[in-house]
Chain A
Amino acid sequence: MRNKIVQNHIEGIVSVVVLLIVTCFILYLIWGNYLSQKDLSESIKKSFINSVEEQVLKISQCFRQMQEGVEQLSKSRELEIYYENKALGMSLEYGLKASILNIKSRFNAVMENQIIGTKHVFEKLAYVEREGNVLIDPGKIDKELDLFQIASKSSQAGDFLVLKNQNNFIYIVTPFYFKNEHRGQIVAKISTDVIKQNIDSNANKENILKKQLFLVYEDNILDAVLDLSDAQKNQINHFLSKTMNISTKHLIEIKTKNKKYKDVTDDGMLAYKTAIEDTPFELLAIISKHTLLGKHNPGNLLFVLGTITFFLILIVLFSFKMSLKNVALAIKIKEEKERVNLIEQKVGERTKELIGLNNMLLEEIEDRKKAENKLKQAQAQLVQSEKLASIGQLAAGIAHEINNPMGFIGSNIEIFRQFLSNNKKLLDQMQKIKKAINVKDIEKSHRLVSEMNEIENQINIDYFKEELPELIKDVQKGVDRVNKIVLDMKIFSREDTGEIDILNVNNVLDDIIRITWNKIKYNCVLKKHYGDIPCINGNQQKLGQVFMNLIINASQAIENKGRINIKTYAQDNNICIEISDNGKGIEEGNLKKIFDAFYTTKPVGEGTGLGLSISYEIIKKHGGDIIVESQVDKGTTFIISLPKEYGIK
């Protein structure tokens, strides 16, 4: 056992070690993934920078396009015509005004035709002569004119300008030279919306990026290149102001807790600033690290990695603890198993003993069954004996009962014999008459007829003619009666087969009364009060035996002359048979015993003591009941109730 415990310990430790190895392997994979994610994040950052640079190129191209548009105007023939006509001394009223109008038309045409996306590039175009007068009026607002004048004075060589408090607009100022002499400035006013439009039209797949771009001019942020709400502007305004000092073409990471850069205070952002070529503008791209890196943010991965490691360690510790528990549990299980085996062994032995005992018991049961069968056979024989005993008691009566019809049958046969003898005489006389007639001896024939008449008178032929049918009928009745008695006896005395028949109890009673009649008729008046009762399922012989017992008992209880009443009726779910007599009755002390086997009050040789006992059993087996009411010297009544639930009316 101890060795096994040690072995279990080793197994637990091995499993923990394996788990540790697996854990290390997983951590190695995660670390590898982290490194790859880190590389990926660097790659994403580079991609971000590249996309910003691409945008810068596009914006630069946009600026160049705008600049070229203005430069085209600076080479326009209309301006030259104006100065040519002016040089010729033409007045505005007579000719020169037309030239100005032509310039205006040209400017208008450029404004109409220069389009980026859906927006016109130039919001306004003006021409300001070097003398300061605005030749081409871009609008009707004096304030605008002042702005153009300021713009025209801001640069002589052509430049991009952003005026103070005019962050939404960029001015491109291009000089115009007529015959190599600077004559004025073309001023184009451009909305930053055009830049937005330019990025919109070029950055359909970079929606995230384009919303983070800002134009920077002389360390001032122009409005966001793309639309931002005022709330958003306010939120990032502080941050934007802090990004001004970042070096161009450097991606910086901005954190609050771990300040890599002193001047920035916002958290989780990446900023990249780069110059727009040939312009005084820079493009500042700001994007949240989460937006840019998403799931490839190494910081996030480190957090995830740490969390996974923590849980893995927890799992290992838990596994170790579980392995120790498992070892203890294994030992306990082992001990339990041994104990169970011991118990099972004992149970097996006890089971064998029990099987032996059970076999013995089965043998005993078998013996008991055999004994019961013998007993049943004995009981059946006893019943049969008792039945035959009853018949024996009836035998004299039955013999008398048979003898009586046999007596008048014999008498009648004597009368029949006399009739045949007389009839022979008549026949002989008739043959003689026939012969005499055949020989035509008339006289003799007359004489013979006279003799025949005398014979008829002697034998009283009329009497025979009237009585003979009745006599034959009586004989037949006697034969039938004998047959009936014999049949009843035969039915009653035959050995019981246990058959169940549909019985009308009234008929069964009549059969028994017929058998017992000669026994009881001398001292009893029997009255039947049969009710309209339904048939029941029952054994005719056994019920008949019960009724016979009760009727004979009743007749025997009547010492001199008495009365037996048999009454049948239906009551509730039963049919009831009352057999009562007005005999001597039964003493109360004996009433409890009358259904006991071998109990009898009759003299030795007259009763077996089994009649009522058997009757009781028969009625019980029919699901019925039998009770007795008796008063000494007044009589006894047996009431049998049999269930009629299976009865058929």
Chain B
Amino acid sequence: MKTRQIISKKSIYLYLLFLMLPTMFVGNVSAQNLDEIKGKGVLRHLGVKYANFVTGSGDGLDVELMQLFAEYLGVEYVYVQTSWSDVIGDLTGKRVKAKGDDIEIIEDVPIKGDIIANGLTKLNWREKVIDYSDPTFPSQVWLIAKANSSLKPITPTGNIDEDIKMTKEQLKDQSVLAVSNTCLDPKLYQLSKTGADIRLFTGNLNQIAPAVIKGDASSSILDVPDALVALEKWAGEIKVIGPVSHQQVMGTAFRKDSPELKTEFKKFFTQCKDDGTYLRLINKYYPAVFDYFSEFFSDIVK
């Protein structure tokens, strides 16, 4: 929707293009393979402010991870702020649109970064345009609701499919916030089939819980990392109803023409897991996640 608005408003587009011109001229817009990154001495980290992956305060799980990766490569770290809608294009130079598990390339855009790391959930359509690293973080999408909502938390059955079913059954005639082109894209979870009133949220993901509390919708789907933060921040004001997805994984994303960089990251990430660096970072930013996804972290928690 946002893309459509930009294309239609040529004046705004031209204005934005004008703003991007200096950046293009200084050469920061070209694709870089590993040799070029090392040659120029800069690793450009594409990030979106999201949960504790990129906090917006200059730190976060993925910020620190990328800083360490740049150090590992022996280059300077540069953070490039982007958005969920632009993040793939900023990496690949192709603005795309998800169509189920497929994509539609909308246009070419300047490449702004070399690597995406901000809790990017591994989704089928995304894998069509980018390469993922090995999973770096687990996730799941829950349904949250305002505390006084009529929605009632399910009683876990021990069967995830049954739990998802029980959760979705409550969505009928309920308003639910979702974010397209992200892991909260309602299409990914066939929310439309539940009879829910799906409302696409255009703001930052961190603002979903407040929006629900405010009454923009009676509920929202929210990934677990964000839900944990929300439960802490707005305790007693929101509640978790149940899951709407199976467990998902997140990973770091690379252009498909950067296999060397991906390989190098794999080496680096393995080293981080082996030497305890990654465990330290998880403990710092998501200490609760081990209790939820203990199996995922079984290889680093010994």
B273 in the interface (beta carbon within 8 A): no
Whether the pair B235, A80 counts as a contact (CB closer than 8 A) is yes
A80 to B235, CA, bound (A): 9
| Nearest-Cβ distance from residue A82 to partner chain B, whole angstroms | 9
| Nearest-Cβ distance from residue A618 to partner chain B, whole angstroms | 133
A105 in the interface (beta carbon within 8 A): yes
Whether the pair A98, B232 counts as a contact (CB closer than 8 A) is yes
Question: In the complex where A88-B147, A97-B292 touch, is A81 in contact with B153 (Cβ < 8 A)?
Answer: no
Whether the pair A99, B291 counts as a contact (CB closer than 8 A) is no
Which A residues are CB-close (under 8 A) to B292? 97-98
Question: B236 contacts which of A81, A91, A92 (Cβ < 8 Å)?
Answer: A81
A243 to B152, CA, bound (A): 63
A99 to B287, CA, bound (A): 12
Whether the pair A88, B156 counts as a contact (CB closer than 8 A) is no
Chain A, 81-98, contact with B by CB distance < 8 Å: what is the 0/1 string?
A: 100110111111111011
B301 in the interface (beta carbon within 8 A): no
A631 in the interface (beta carbon within 8 A): no
Which A residues are CB-close (under 8 A) to B142? 94-95
Whether the pair B154, A101 counts as a contact (CB closer than 8 A) is no
- What would 22 A/B residue contacts be, using CB atoms closer than 8 Å? A77-B235, A81-B236, A84-B235, A88-B153, A88-B236, A89-B152, A89-B153, A89-B239, A90-B239, A90-B240, A91-B153, A94-B163, A94-B240, A95-B227, A95-B231, A95-B240, A98-B231, A98-B292, A99-B231, A101-B291, A105-B287, A105-B288
Partner-B contacts on A (CB < 8 A): 77, 80-81, 84-85, 87-95, 97-102, 105
Question: In the complex where A81-B236, A85-B236 touch, is A90 in contact with B153 (Cβ < 8 A)?
Answer: yes
Given contacts A81-B231, A91-B155, A94-B240, 15 further A-B contacts (CB under 8 A): A77-B235, A80-B235, A80-B236, A88-B147, A91-B154, A92-B156, A94-B142, A94-B154, A94-B242, A95-B142, A97-B291, A98-B291, A99-B231, A101-B288, A101-B291
Question: In the complex where A95-B153, A97-B288, A97-B292 touch, is A88 in contact with B239 (Cβ < 8 A)?
Answer: yes
Which A residues are CB-close (under 8 A) to B242? 91, 94
A84 to B153, CA, bound (A): 13
B243 in the interface (beta carbon within 8 A): yes
Listed from nearest, the 7 A-B pairs whose CB atoms lie closest are A95-B240, A84-B236, A81-B235, A101-B288, A88-B239, A93-B156, A89-B153
Question: B239 contacts which of A85, A93, A105 (Cβ < 8 Å)?
Answer: A85
Which B residues are CB-close (under 8 A) to A100? 291
Which A residues are CB-close (under 8 A) to B163? 93-94
Residue of B nearest to A102 (CB): B232
B177 in the interface (beta carbon within 8 A): no
Which B residues are CB-close (under 8 A) to A102? 232, 288
Which A residues are CB-close (under 8 A) to B241? 94
Chain A interface, >50% SS class: helix
| Nearest-Cβ distance from residue A109 to partner chain B, whole angstroms | 11
Residue of B nearest to A84 (CB): B236
A94 to B152, CA, bound (A): 12
| Nearest-Cβ distance from residue A472 to partner chain B, whole angstroms | 149
A295 to B85, CA, bound (A): 89
A80 to B236, CA, bound (A): 9
Which A residues are CB-close (under 8 A) to B213? none
Whether the pair B243, A94 counts as a contact (CB closer than 8 A) is yes
Partner-A contacts on B (CB < 8 A): 142, 147, 152-156, 163, 227-228, 231-232, 235-236, 239-243, 287-288, 291-292
Question: A101 contacts which of B152, B153, B287 (Cβ < 8 Å)?
Answer: B287
Which A residues are CB-close (under 8 A) to B227? 95
A87 to B241, CA, bound (A): 13
Give the A-B pair count, Cβ closer than 8 A: 67
A84 to B236, CA, bound (A): 5
Which B residues are CB-close (under 8 A) to A77? 235
Residue of B nearest to A90 (CB): B153
A227 to B261, CA, bound (A): 60
A84 to B227, CA, bound (A): 16
Question: B235 contacts which of A85, A91, A101 (Cβ < 8 Å)?
Answer: A85
Question: A98 contacts which of B155, B156, B288 (Cβ < 8 Å)?
Answer: B288
| Nearest-Cβ distance from residue A79 to partner chain B, whole angstroms | 11
Whether the pair B156, A94 counts as a contact (CB closer than 8 A) is yes
| Nearest-Cβ distance from residue A106 to partner chain B, whole angstroms | 11
Whether the pair B240, A99 counts as a contact (CB closer than 8 A) is no
| Nearest-Cβ distance from residue B173 to partner chain A, whole angstroms | 20
A85 to B236, CA, bound (A): 6
Whether the pair A95, B239 counts as a contact (CB closer than 8 A) is yes
A84 to B231, CA, bound (A): 10
Residue of B nearest to A108 (CB): B287
Which B residues are CB-close (under 8 A) to A99? 231, 235
Whether the pair B228, A91 counts as a contact (CB closer than 8 A) is no
Residue of A nearest to B158 (CB): A93
Whether the pair A98, B228 counts as a contact (CB closer than 8 A) is yes
| Nearest-Cβ distance from residue B152 to partner chain A, whole angstroms | 6
Which A residues are CB-close (under 8 A) to B243? 94
Which B residues are CB-close (under 8 A) to A81? 231-232, 235-236
A98 to B153, CA, bound (A): 15
Residue of A nearest to B142 (CB): A94
| Nearest-Cβ distance from residue B229 to partner chain A, whole angstroms | 9
A102 to B231, CA, bound (A): 10
Which A residues are CB-close (under 8 A) to B152? 89
| Nearest-Cβ distance from residue B141 to partner chain A, whole angstroms | 11
| Nearest-Cβ distance from residue B143 to partner chain A, whole angstroms | 9
| Nearest-Cβ distance from residue B235 to partner chain A, whole angstroms | 4
A87 to B235, CA, bound (A): 11
Residue of A nearest to B288 (CB): A101
A158 to B194, CA, bound (A): 51
| Nearest-Cβ distance from residue B134 to partner chain A, whole angstroms | 26
| Nearest-Cβ distance from residue A266 to partner chain B, whole angstroms | 55
A101 to B232, CA, bound (A): 11
| Nearest-Cβ distance from residue B160 to partner chain A, whole angstroms | 10
A105 to B228, CA, bound (A): 14
| Nearest-Cβ distance from residue B224 to partner chain A, whole angstroms | 9
| Nearest-Cβ distance from residue A137 to partner chain B, whole angstroms | 11
A629 to B62, CA, bound (A): 152
A81 to B147, CA, bound (A): 12
A562 to B152, CA, bound (A): 188
A81 to B155, CA, bound (A): 19
| Nearest-Cβ distance from residue A10 to partner chain B, whole angstroms | 104
Which A residues are CB-close (under 8 A) to B147? 88
Most buried by B among A77, A93, A100: A93
A89 to B149, CA, bound (A): 12
| Nearest-Cβ distance from residue A75 to partner chain B, whole angstroms | 15
| Nearest-Cβ distance from residue A170 to partner chain B, whole angstroms | 29
Which B residues are CB-close (under 8 A) to A94? 142, 153-154, 156, 163, 240-243
A87 to B242, CA, bound (A): 16
| Nearest-Cβ distance from residue A107 to partner chain B, whole angstroms | 12
A91 to B236, CA, bound (A): 14
Which A residues are CB-close (under 8 A) to B228? 98
Residue of B nearest to A88 (CB): B239
A85 to B288, CA, bound (A): 16
A97 to B241, CA, bound (A): 14
Residue of A nearest to B155 (CB): A91
Which A residues are CB-close (under 8 A) to B288? 97-98, 101-102, 105
